[in-house]
Amino acid sequence: MKEQHTIQHRLALISYIWIFFAVSVSFAQTPEDVNMKYNAYPVYAGDDLGVRFLNEYISLKVWTPDADSLRLNIYPDDQVETHAARYFFEKSEGGTWAVRLPNDLFGQYYTVQAKIKEKWSAEVPDPYARAVGTNGKRGQLINPSKIEPKGWDSDWIPDMPDVANILIYELHIRDFSIHPESGMKNKGKYLAFTERETTTPGGTTTGVDHLIEMGITHVHLLPAFDFLSIDESKPEQRQFNWGYDPQNYNVPEGSYSTNPADGSVRILEFKQMVKSLHDAGIRVIMDVVYNHTGRTDGLTFDELAPGYFYRQWNFGKYSNASGCGNETASERPMVRKYIVESLKYWMEEYHIDGFRFDLMAIHDQETMREIASTLHAIRPDMFLYGEGWTADQSPLPENKRSLKKYTYKLPAIAAFSDEIRDGIKGHWSSHDSKGFVSGNTDLKESVKFGIVGAIQHPDIDYKKVNNADSAWALEPTQCVAYVSCHDNHTLYDKLKLANPAADEKTIQKMHILSNAIVLTSQAIPFLHAGVEFMRTKDGVENSYKSPDHINQLDWNMLAKNKEVHEAYKALITLRKEHPAFRMGSADLVQSKLHFLETEPGVIAYHIQAPENDSWAEVVVAFNGENLRHSIPLEGKWLMAWDGNRIVSSQSSDGRVAIPAYSAIILYRPR
């Protein structure tokens, strides 16, 4: 009995040791070990993935290296349950499978299924699908290049001779027109952007004509590719989402079209929107979310190439740097190829003028450099920028991520400055925290950092800058200066929360001052739609799926807050008329812009204006306190801006007053 007990004890001990060893190995393995099999996957170099329409047949090629078989199901519409025909692919080069289809299938709907390890995948469109039916569940065999609005071949892209001239206005497609009194008929649709001379019942200009009046150069559209969260089959339901849950990357979102069942409709109407904005002299930027998908299971990537398109931790657990359930593996060749080709497609097929990358730091630097080199080789004036941070940890080594602090390694790409954002209004996550515009003098250097465009400058004390301890931009045009966007509270709501005792007039002064700083900075200015009339979301911080009454642009606020609107327009006019505010070169900013010695609550700087400016010298001063301050100036100066409006008056008494919570701009003519 004793011997038997000893044997059992030894066997149990061996089992425990083996389990401990296995667990230890699992924790010791690195993502590189786990992903070794993906590194051995074939890479396809061709440019013909997805559906192609040739003279004698339709070609469909799909990359699915693990598949033992691949089949295509044909449907007469996007809802019928039983397929009308089935075709099998033939294995081709580089991990691809190919099938030739007769031309009489044009207009039909299709799904792809892969047989992997004796199991058929779910039915999905191919990853490169360029047309889909309702809810993006089935691809459609139509050719987007043949679907064009009148005049598309001669679509005029507004001139942009210098990147420093860019002024961005961030906008959600549904928000733009959905208000009952927007004056637009195609509410919540692409076609609202084709309507002109629209007004509120009170006669206030709305829509595209308002954008023209504002003087912005680029509209930044929140995600407009096919996303997951809206049920397109129920247009009667008032559904809302920002769209950061991608489903089919190469297809316009169906809920913004007048008929999501017909893939040609969303293609045509998206192009009509772009052309209308171009005709109005406005370029179009797409907000793109290649860093994650709305789901993992059931979507094209993981059904056709399980695991490959997503990063994993040890033993295959999916990582989640997006905070949305997964993150794409941009460093893998076929993922990088997919992203680059998708962006190129949007640029060429839909005439898109720029891209904003959601959580750009999830992408590796090499991918971002390849994106920039590929797109700029075709369109040198493309503007590329993104968020230089992640939402959570990633297996991608920190020094390979496209983090804000590595922007200097990405010379053709810009990043958002959270330094100036939080410096102006207070920290985004601390609702009651005050910024410079409401008296927090500790944030002065952070605001100055954004004013020079995040470059190295002798007048900045980098030890006092929030969110950064050194310059991260090579040129000021690599820095996007902003104080509010779709994320978090609107500027108005944030200022109300941080200054509960302030009256409406004081909030208005802080509001104008906030973007006076942005619009006179050397960085690329970025405005959140509706900020020009003190847009509110009733205090809702994260409105990604809030109803329309929270998210809509209330165009009636333009008349209510006319003074604010006029101030924003005037500041934009000053910026566009005077190159001193957009010198575009680190060398020029370092040599021509110098900060003045001031009291703690004041920021002031002098610019020796470039030769192409009608002004010879400029002084800009900001007062973020509820006190009247002044700065000394020698000689005679003309006042261009008195805190609320453009003026023309002379100041020669040696000191210039700056009213509480306001900005002043003075100049000497050439």
Q: Give me Rg for the CA atoms of the chain.
A: 28
Residue 45: how many CA atoms within 13 Å on its side-chain side?
Answer: 0
Chain position carrying tokens 């604010």: 564
Angle, helices 444-451/418-425, rounded to nearest 10 degrees: 140
Phi-psi sector, 539: left (phi>0), alpha (psi -120 to 50), beta: left
- Provide long-range contacts, Cβ within 8 A and 24+ apart, for 556-563: 556/181, 556/200, 556/202, 556/204, 557/530, 557/533, 558/200, 558/204, 558/205, 558/206, 558/210, 558/532, 558/533, 559/200, 559/202, 559/204, 560/533, 561/508, 561/533, 561/534, 563/508, 563/644
C-alpha 349/C-alpha 342 separation (Å) is 10
Residue 312 gets which letter from DSSP?
Answer: B
- How many residues are given for the chain? 670
And the tokens for 245? 């849950």
DSSP line for 387-432: ----SS--SS-GGGB--GGGGGG-TT-EEEEHHHHHHHH--TT-TT
Task: Give CA angle at 219 (217, 224), nearest 5°.
Answer: 155
* Residue 623 burial by Cβ neighbours in a 10 Å radius (0-12, 13-18, 19+): buried
> d(Cα 60, Cα 338) in Å, to the nearest integer?
16
From the CB of residue 47, how many other CB atoms can be counted at a distance below 10 Å? 10
| 526 three-class SS | strand
Query: In this structure, are residues 194 and 276 in contact, taking their beta carbons and an 8 Å threshold?
Result: yes
Dihedral Cα 63, 65, 69, 74, nearest 10 deg: -20
Residue 208 to residue 511: CA distance in whole angstroms: 24
Q: Which of 170, 262, 327, 358 is catalytic?
A: 358
Kindly name the residue from 195, 232, 353, 387 that is annotated as catalytic: 387
209 catalytically annotated: no
Question: Quick one: tokens of 79?
Answer: 């809802």
The torsion angles phi and psi of 396, rounded to 5 degrees, stand at -65, 125
Active site residue 358: yes
Residues with a catalytic annotation lie at 358, 387
